[in-house]
Amino acid sequence: MAVQYILQLAIDFVLYLLAKLARAGLLDGKRATTHWRYTSSLQEQFPAIEVVPDVLYVDEGQIITSAGSAAGIDAGLHLIRRDFGTTIANQVARRLVVTPHRNGGQKQFIPAPIYTGTNKKFDATDCRRAAIVSASGL
């Protein structure tokens, strides 16, 4: 329960910051994104923004918006890569134990079923089944 509360506070804070940028007109005429659950609301409230609903992050030069907490890490690594180069970005990614680069144009959410086998022992056969199920949703 406490973790869910903390996550909701973090989401609320990020949405608050995004709304502040939007209300100040800093996103007018620009592309922006947010978490897939809130893209429709952002577009309704701020029609001057070109909301891109299905990407991880959008780089508009001075302003980068992202789709959620993991996408925020991707956007941060993109910013480091853009400003300081690939070597530094890769070092930061390694320190964070995350993928060094996920393209901002990648979809936020792919509604693919996840294999949930009933065996307690997860073996190579389970891995193949999981891969087949995941690939079938692409």
What fold does the segment set 2-96 form as a domain? Rossmann fold (3.40.50)
Does the pTM of the predicted model rise above 0.75? no
Going from the first residue of the chain to its last (138 residues), give the mean pLDDT of each consecutive group of 10, the final group possibly shorter: 76 84 95 92 95 94 90 92 95 92 75 62 57 51
So where are the chain's domains?
Answer: 2-96, 110-138
Helix (H) or strand (E) holding 3: helix 2-23
Q: How far, in Å, are 2, 43, 44 from residue 39 at the CA level? A: 26, 6, 9
41's tokens:
């609301």
